[in-house]
Structure 1
Amino acid sequence: MSDGKTILNQWADAGECELPGESATDQALSSTLMKGLEILALFNDQEDRFANSEIARRLGLNRATVSRLCKTLMHMGYLRRDMKGNFRLAPRILGLSYPVLAATRWRHQLVGPMREIAEMSTGNVTLAVMSGDQFVQVQTIGDPISFPHIPEPGITGPLHRSASGRALLSLLEGQELYDKLAELRLRFPEEFATHAEDTAASIARCREEGFCASYGDWRPNIVALSTPLGETEDGLRVALSCGLPRFRAREDVVENDLGPRLAEAAKSIRMMGIFKSPYFVG
């Protein structure tokens, strides 16, 4: 076992985590509500429609239960059926995200600096916040037409195998970091082990050099860089990231030019007073 893996696992060993369903206290949770939300969570930018049978297979539910849940979600306006009878998310679901986006008005102050980075790198620039075991993008700037995926607010990704996620992890310290790593290891044991070395190195690099890079760990056709910005007054951890299609991302440019520039941009943004600076920033 390598040093990075050893350190990350030692930190996870020091953490405490209890997943839903592992405690008697979870009797207070609504399993029906959880199943309905799990259906909504299946949809993403690469899989935007599902048949009843596929939802049942993915979630390990019987078809009758899925049918009942989907009918309820359709009645509430969160699902719709297309011409082939597949279930798709309905536009009304965007209404659930509006209050969250409206509460992050600070992101609009960063559009200018983000656009400068996008033009300088010819990439897509995003703001990501930590949410549970994932990051969520809340602002994007760039050229989605020429990009391998559509970088829109609402995209989620893993904390333990992405540049954005690792930058966000670097903002945690002490027991909070240990608990988060314990949760990630419990939820994703194989992925955690596979990416532990890179995750540990990226956390250390963010704290020492101000940025980290990922070469296709999350999406194989994207090279991404990320820098930790800090914490908002209402407790959101925020990272600034830049993504490039892998076919035109030169490693020497990423490591020696774009990465340091992104870290410098983060320093300038922190001077705006929007974020509480990371504890490791002097």
Structure 2
Amino acid sequence: MGNEQPSPKGVRTIQAVTHLSEILRCVSRATKPIGINEIARSVGLDKSSVSRLVASLEKERLLQRGHEGGVRLGLGLLAITAPLMRDLGLSTRVRPSLEALAKRTGETVNLSVWSGKESVSVVQALGSNAITHYAAPGRTNPLHCSASGKVLLAFASEELIEEVLSSPLQRYTDQTITDPQTLRGELKQIKLEGYAVNTGEFAADVSAVSAAVFDLDGSVVGALTVTVPAYRFDGERQAEILRETLLVARDLSEQFGFHT
């Protein structure tokens, strides 16, 4: 029994995992978005096989298309590695900016990325009045009713937006938007303004402001969010936090190479 050979199906499954890993490593070594032909030459597979594997990785947000037409690593990788980033202290690049914002606002500040299905917190800083359980690193938030989720969804492809809007939008509170057309209109406004506000849509006692963070080619790399208990989120406070959040989001975007 101990000498049994794996089935051909098992062998193919293992080979597929190996090929996926090789493609991810190949893309990670590239200094700019890399084409299918170049990936195929590098990993020693035919173009059609690489195209299918890349399409699977794109669907899971582990790869994404660059504006030049090639592929690069996707934000889904950040979502998967969020706990590791926390444990190994790999968030040093953005943490000073988040801590400064948390100090000025006194609230909970998070940087979130899109896993392909949800908004995932990858870095957090706490202010003097912060509620510590808000979106700890690795925690997910729904796209349609959280400030970070709405920002990330607003800047997604039309195909992905339609996929979300065509699925049932779960109601969490009386303020949750569950009508696809209403949400579509809000997403257009968010994309135009670069920020989203959540007033009790995911949890009745929680409000938040979130702003888009861009990279060198204008793609959204994350959402910078300040979360506030609803009881201290009046109009004046909302305007103050929005102003501070937009300033830091612009600074982070410049750190990632984005220039208007």
Scaled to the shorter chain, the TM-score interval is: 0.5 to 0.7
Q: Matches of residues 8-157 of structure 1 in structure 2 within 5 Å?
A: 98-99=83-84, 105=90, 107-143=91-127, 147=131, 149-157=133-141
Distance 2:160 2:132 in 1: 30
- Aligned twin of 2:232: 248
- Residue of structure 1 equivalent to 2:250: 267
Return the TM-score normalized by structure 1.
Answer: 0.53
Name 2:49's counterpart in structure 1. none
After TM superposition, give the deviation of residue 188 of structure 1 in Å: 2.3
Unaligned runs of 5+ in 1: 1-27, 30-94
Quick one: which amino acid aligns to residue 221 of structure 1? D
Which residue identity lines up with residue 247 of structure 2 in the other structure? E
Give the 3-state SS of the residue equivalent to 2:93 in structure 1.
Answer: helix
Q: Please say if 1:217 is aligned against 2:201.
A: yes
Residue deviations 1:209-268 (CA, integer Å, cap 9, x gap): 3322110111211110000102589x88311100001111112320x3221221122112
What residue in structure 1 maps to residue 60 of structure 2? none
State the secondary structure of the residue aligned to 1:203: helix
For 1:59-109, what per-residue CA distance to the aligned partner results, in whole angstroms no more than 9, with x for missing partners?
Answer: xxxxxxxxxxxxxxxxxxxxxxxxxxxxxxxxxxxx97655668994x321
Residues 148 and 245 in structure 1, CA contact (< 8 A), matched pair in contact too:
no
Q: Which residue of 2 aligns with 1:258?
A: 241
Quick check: 1:144–1:150 contact (8 Å CA) kept in 2?
A: no
Contact 1:163-1:241 at 8 Å conserved across structures: yes
Separation in 1 of the partners of 2:165 and 2:181?
13
Structure number with the bigger relative contact order (C-alpha 8 A, sep ≥ 6) is: 1
Distance 1:103 1:122, change over 3 A: closer
Distance in structure 2 (CA, Å) of the matches to 1:269 and 1:223: 23
The one-letter amino acid paired with 1:133 is: K
SS of alignment partner, residue 194 of structure 1:
coil
Aligned to 2:212, the other structure's residue is in SS state: strand
CA pair 261-100 structure 1, distance change in 2 beyond 3 A? closer
**Partner residue, 1:179:** 159
Superposition deviation, residue 124 in structure 1? 0.3
C-alpha contact 2:98 2:125 (8 A) present in aligned 1: yes
Letter in 1 for 2:167: R
Distance 1:122 1:195 in 2: 34
SS in 2 for 1:237: strand
CA distance in 1, matches of 2:119, 2:105: 22
CA distance in 2, matches of 1:121, 1:198: 31
Q: Is the 8 A contact 2:169 2:177 kept in 1?
A: yes
Q: What is the aligned length?
A: 178
Amino acid at match of 2:194: G
Q: Which amino acid aligns with 1:138?
A: V
Per the normalisation by structure 2, the TM-score is: 0.57
Question: How big is the alpha-carbon RMSD for the aligned residues of Structure 1 and Structure 2?
Answer: 3.5
The CA deviation at 1:151 is 3.4
Using a 3 Å threshold, how does the CA distance of structure 1 residues 158 and 264 change in structure 2: closer, same or farther? same
Q: Does 1:226 align with 2:210?
A: yes
Q: Is 1:165 aligned to residue 149 of structure 2?
A: yes
Describe the SS at the equivalent of 1:271: helix
CA contact (8 A) 2:152 2:220 kept: no
Structure 2 residues without counterparts, runs of 5 or longer: 1-11, 14-79
Question: Any idea what the Cα deviations from partners look like across 1:105-141, whole Å, max 9, x if unmatched?
Answer: 4x32111111121122221000100012201100111
Alignment partners' CA distance in 2, 1:114 and 1:148:
15
Q: Secondary structure at the match of 1:187?
A: coil
Please tell me the residue identity of whatever aligns with 2:145.
R
